Each structure stands twice: as structure tokens, then as C-alpha cells.
């Protein structure tokens, strides 16, 4: 009948020596070195603490029902203006549009808006040369970072030929110049944005210089060539509210979890090496000690 090995166990030897012996000091030195080397390695390969982290979230974006459309013509002609603002620098704003349609669509029926559609119709007796459209939004993050702010996105497009229609589409994305904080509600930009008495260039520049702001990216523009002053000029735009890549500063517990994983994973390797080194030195009598074997213990 064949004999099979079904279980095995190691024989445990004990090595003893006095506390002030060279063997004891060497074991103490190796133990301290085993604990310190993982710290040194991790420190010189990027450090224990996460400097930043990234996660994906689809923001809750809501159009604020505020917009400003400026359609520039020749240098000596007044621009076409369409706006929900009625006064600028104490002067009334004339709305030149015959029709403006702005609405949001929840395509996947999850309770969050996915698309904004903008459409403006107006007459002009001169071809357009430049379009500037400002749309105002409320932007909110809730998953890991609590962020609420009002922001404005700007669409600029120079027109180099005579056209009758302009169509554009793009994605609304968060523009970050610094990391978001994980702890606490960040609402320092949660205030109403008004044109007030500031020049429009200063208003746009202030928005661009914010630490956090939304912008239109991946813009695609098409047009219908030709121009007729008897037909309405049409501007159509579609903005997609896509998932954002959010960069943030991790909190204490997330950093501690990451530091612990790094340290333990390297420490286990050095514990294994320390055990093998000491086992070799004691079994080959490089270190002085007396050995206790299990079968001699009474």
C-alpha cells in the first residue's frame, strides 16, 4: 500500500544567550533595522502620504436661466444682443432676438440633467464676425467632495466667412487650479454672478482666474454657408454634462490606510530576510548561544 505524507510541521529550536552578549545586540540591531528600512524605502520612493487622489463623478448641473449672447458684426455696427439681463452699467439692454429656447434634458431618467440645448433666432442686416455666449450654471459635487458653486461658461467663436447658421456642441467640465478638500462643504463660490458695473472682459477674466470653474471642452462647430438679411440667423448649441475627473486632497483616514499598506507590504519582506539571516547564523554557530530542542524539554 502506498504511503502518503498528509501533514508536516517544523521543529522549533530556541536559541538563548545573555542580554548583554554580542548575539543579543546583533539580534536587536537587525530587528531595529527591519523596522526602519521599510520607512526609508517608502520615504525615498514618493513618501507615505497621498499628495492627491482622483475619482470620477457626474456633477449635478443646473442651468440658472441666465445667459448673454453677443454677436459682433462690422467694427462700426452695434452688436446683436440677446440676454436675460436687463441692465448693464445702468443702461438698459435691448434684446434683439426674436426667439430664444434653452432647456435641459434628462436622457437616462436618473433625476440629473444630462444635456443643455440652446437656440437663438434673430435678424441682422450685416454678416456676423464673432459670437460670444455666456451661460450660467449651478455646479454641485456630493459623492466624496461637497462642492457647490455658481459658474459661467463662455463660448467664443470667430466667423471668417458669411454664414446663416452656426451649430456647436461640447462638454461641460470642471477646471481645477488647486486640489479640493475632502472635509467640509466648499461653497466659497456659491454666490450669484451678476454683470453689475464691471467690464465684460473683467467679468470673464475673474471667472477664468477662479480656483474652480466650469468650462466647455471638446467643442465642435459647424455652419451653414451663405448669408441673407431677410432670413433669420440661427445659433444652436448642445452642451453635455459629462462625468468629471475630480482631483482632491485625501483625508487623514484615507492617507493612513495607504501608508499602512505600503509599510506592511515592505516590512513582511524584511521580516522574512531577517529570519533567514538569523537562522543561518545561529545554526552555523556564527553567533554564540545555547540551543534548546523540543525533545530535550521535560
Taking only the tens place, the pLDDT of each residue in 170-194 is 999 998 888 888 776 667 777 777 7
Query: How many separate domains does the chain show?
Result: 2
Examine the domain organization and report whether 186 and 263 are in the same domain: no
Examine the domain organization and report whether 29 and 105 are in the same domain: no
Examine the domain organization and report whether 28 and 137 are in the same domain: no
With beta carbons less than 8 A apart as the criterion, state whether 132 and 155 touch: yes
Examine the domain organization and report whether 124 and 210 are in the same domain: yes
Taking only the tens place, the pLDDT of each residue in 196-209 is 667 888 888 888 88
pLDDT at 62: 93
Examine the domain organization and report whether 27 and 121 are in the same domain: no
Cell of 54: 482622483
pLDDT at 249: 82
Examine the domain organization and report whether 81 and 29 are in the same domain: no
3-state secondary structure at position 276: helix
Long-range contacts of 183-189 (CB under 8 A, 24+ apart): 183/251, 184/146, 185/146, 185/147, 185/148, 186/145, 186/146, 186/147, 186/148, 187/147, 187/148, 187/149, 188/149, 189/149, 189/150, 189/151, 189/213
Amino acid at each position: 500500500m502506498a504511503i502518503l505524507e498528509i501533514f508536516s510541521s517544523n521543529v522549533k529550536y530556541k536559541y538563548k544567550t545573555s542580554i548583554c552578549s554580542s548575539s543579543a545586540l546583533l539580534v536587536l540591531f537587525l530587528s531595529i533595522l527591519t523596522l526602519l528600512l521599510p520607512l526609508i524605502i517608502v520615504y525615498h520612493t514618493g513618501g507615505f502620504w497621498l499628495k492627491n487622489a482622483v475619482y470620477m463623478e457626474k456633477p449635478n448641473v443646473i442651468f440658472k436661466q441666465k445667459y448673454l449672447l453677443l454677436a459682433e458684426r462690422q467694427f462700426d455696427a452695434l452688436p446683436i444682443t440677446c440676454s436675460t439681463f436687463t441692465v448693464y452699467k445702468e443702461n438698459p439692454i435691448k434684446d434683439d432676438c426674436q426667439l430664444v429656447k434653452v432647456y435641459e434634458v434628462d436622457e437616462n431618467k436618473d433625476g440629473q440633467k444630462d444635456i443643455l440645448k440652446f437656440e437663438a433666432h434673430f435678424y441682422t442686416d450685416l454678416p456676423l464676425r464673432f459670437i460670444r455666449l455666456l451661460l450660467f450654471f449651478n455646479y454641485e459635487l456630493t459623492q466624496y467632495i461637497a462642492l457647490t458653486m455658481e459658474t459661467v461658461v463662455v463660448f467664443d467663436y470667430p466667423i471668417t466667412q458669411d454664414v446663416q447658421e452656426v451649430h456647436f456642441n461640447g462638454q461641460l467640465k470642471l477646471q481645477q487650479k488647486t486640489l479640493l478638500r475632502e472635509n467640509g462643504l466648499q461653497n466659497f463660490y456659491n454666490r450669484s454672478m451678476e454683470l453689475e458695473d464691471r467690464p465684460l472682459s473683467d467679468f470673464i477674466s475673474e471667472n477664468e482666474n477662479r480656483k474652480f470653474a466650469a468650462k466647455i471642452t471638446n467643442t465642435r462647430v459647424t455652419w451653414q454657408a451663405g448669408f441673407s438679411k431677410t432670413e433669420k440667423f440661427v445659433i444652436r448649441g448642445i452642451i453635455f454634462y459629462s462625468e468629471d475627473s475630480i482631483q482632491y486632497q485625501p483625508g487623514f483616514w484615507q492617507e493612513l490606510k495607504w501608508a499602512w499598506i505600503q509599510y506592511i507590504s515592505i516590512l513582511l519582506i524584511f521580516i522574512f530576510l531577517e529570519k533567514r539571516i538569523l537562522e543561518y547564523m545561529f545554526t552555523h554557530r556564527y553567533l554564540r548561544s545555547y540551543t534548546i530542542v523540543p525533545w530535550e524539554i521535560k
